[in-house]
A = this chain, B = another copy of it.
Amino acid sequence: MDTSLLGTSFIGYQRARGGDACGQAVNPADNEKLDPVYQAATSAEVARALELADRAFPIYSALPGPKRAEFLRAIAAGIEARVEDLVARTPLETALPEARVRGEAGRTIGQLRMFAGLIEDDAWADPRVERAEPDRQPMPKPDLRSMQVPLGPVAVFCAGNFPLAFSVAGGDTASALAAGCPVVVIAHHSHPGTAEIVASAVIGAAQATGMPEGVFSLLYGGGPNVGTAVVASPVIQAVGFTGSRDGGMALMEIAAMRPRPIPVYAEMSAVNPVVFLPDALAGDAESLAESCFGSLTLGCGQFCTNPGLLFLPAEGSGEFLDALAARIQTATPGVMLSPTIAGTYEETTADVSAQPGVSLLARAADSGVPNTAPPMAMTVSAADFATRPEMQREMFGPACLIVLGDSAATALALDTLEGQLTASIFGSPAAIAAEAAIVSRLRKLSGRLIFNGYPTGVEVCSSMVHGGPFPATSDGRGTSVGTMAIHRFCRPVCWQNAPAELLPPALRDA
């Protein structure tokens, strides 16, 4: 593979020239800048990418599923062929270890192949056929046939914390392309080189499989000239985003204020409550604490499903808390994805620590290495927690707030929680069944309800729901992981009394 990075956008099949420099990646391990300097797409280049996407849409959306599947598989193969390039570049941009990069590349490749498999036949599009009943009384019934059709070109924003699986060719892009929507990706400023490597795989696959130019573009630069301009464009029909709450809310507002509003699928923030019932702690508290520590510090805590909020009985939690504290105190702080994220970790943990009633349980020693995040845990009473929504603030990284109280206090505290991606509960089936008030609240506020397990680790499959009530996501009716993600980019259309040859193949008589 040619690993030379040019630092410019992909406008359909052309490399952009770009206008203003929009920065370089920074190695968070040493704060050194990485070549090349990236060039923001100019307004004319953004307009061109949108125009190409608009023109590609009718052609691309009309391709048979197996042809789009071929494209998705070619992207997967292209990424597979570039894994060593990614292993060379991505850790420098993100401080993620090689094993994570290989694992995330594998997941990304797997997702693309999963969607390719899904669209090999048309069942995913829910084809419905009701034949005419010309003799029905008092009125004849017309021939009616409906199915899901793609919305149109989609804007996808790369995620800071998943440079592969939620970025250029990640889940949003894979599901939108599978649905039949061209995609305009906006690169994340912190891993532009990774984006360039993956974009070259997508473009190579599009050309090799004869896709219309404009089925994919990648834009560098952000702000009003690139990100806002794309979301505000009449060409764009939906938006996929994974990132901060402020970022997601800004996109929701732009989309809602358009002359023609469009859906935004923003995955924004979650603290993923985990409730421990007394009988869970009466068992092997050591190993429970061990796995809790593992989930809390996995990937330096930089997952949307990180367990940031634990509910424990005020009585009988001592052994678990001691075991968790011991592990946290002796942990080695990891390097975070970027200086910005490291700074936000410091700020948000300090902010939660300073809330009345919050005590420090344990904190790892500072490492002296730049951009590292010492794992930490704090405690607060359920009564105090329930009065202060500020304590629900996401501390993106390896930190958790532990809320202590009995079942009744826990249920009241859960009532104050915002929407979440996940909610977990530990206990024997009988103990859980006895806490109906807690279980029903956990289900109501989340998209995935986990029994005797921690929330990190999101299986990519047909039954996964990675979404949840606001503000976990902007639109709790969707998922950004698993096959159901494709439905975010579709709408139903009905054909009435259509001549057979004018129906989509999926709706014709066999």
Contact = CB atoms under 8 A, between A and B. Distances in A.
B451 A498 contact: yes
Contacts of A419: 260
Given A256-B256, A261-B470, A459-B142, A464 B494 contact: yes
A484 B145 CA distance: 13
Contacts of A495: 448-449, 451
B467 A492 contact: yes
28 contacts: A128-B463, A141-B461, A142-B453, A144-B461, A144-B464, A146-B464, A146-B484, A152-B444, A256-B256, A261-B470, A432-B499, A432-B502, A433-B502, A447-B494, A448-B494, A449-B493, A449-B495, A450-B497, A451-B498, A451-B502, A452-B497, A453-B496, A465-B492, A467-B492, A469-B491, A477-B490, A477-B491, A479-B492
Contacts of A494: 447-449, 463-465
A405 interface: no
A252 interface: yes
Given A142-B453, A260-B419, A451-B497, 6 more contacts: A141-B461, A142-B459, A151-B476, A252-B256, A252-B261, A432-B499
A418 B491 contact: no
A315 interface: no
A142 B422 CA distance: 15
A471 interface: yes
Interface residues of A, number: 65
B493 A447 contact: yes
A4 interface: no
Given A142-B459, A476-B491, A493-B465, A260 B451 contact: no
A129 interface: yes
Contact of A443 (B151, B453, B470, B493): B493
B459 A144 contact: yes
A446 B491 CA distance: 10
A78 to B, nearest CB: 24
A492 to B, nearest CB: 5
Contacts of A475: 263
Given A457-B139, A465-B146, A469-B260, A450 B502 contact: no
A496 B451 contact: yes
Interface string A141-172: 11011100101100000000000000000000
A8 interface: no
Contacts of A142: 453, 459
A444 B61 CA distance: 11
A139 B474 CA distance: 31
A429 interface: yes
A421 to B, nearest CB: 10
Given A419-B260, A475-B263, A459 B493 contact: no
A245 to B, nearest CB: 12
B499 A463 contact: no
A470 B130 contact: no
Contacts of A451: 495-499, 502
Contact of A260 (B470, B484, B491): B470
Contacts of A457: 139
Contacts of A476: 151, 491
Interface string A421-457: 0000000010011000001100110111111110001
A496 B451 CA distance: 6
- Most B CB within 10 A of own CB, among A262, A432, A502: A502
Contacts of A418: 260
A182 B497 CA distance: 37
A448 B491 CA distance: 11
Contacts of A469: 260, 491
Contacts of A141: 459, 461
Interface string A479-510: 10000100000111111111101100000000
Contacts of A465: 146, 492-494
A238 to B, nearest CB: 9
A222 interface: no
Contacts of A498: 449, 451
A344 interface: no
A130 B497 contact: no
A457 B136 CA distance: 14
Contact of A501 (B152, B429, B449, B502): B429
A228 interface: no
Contacts of A479: 492
A179 B261 CA distance: 26
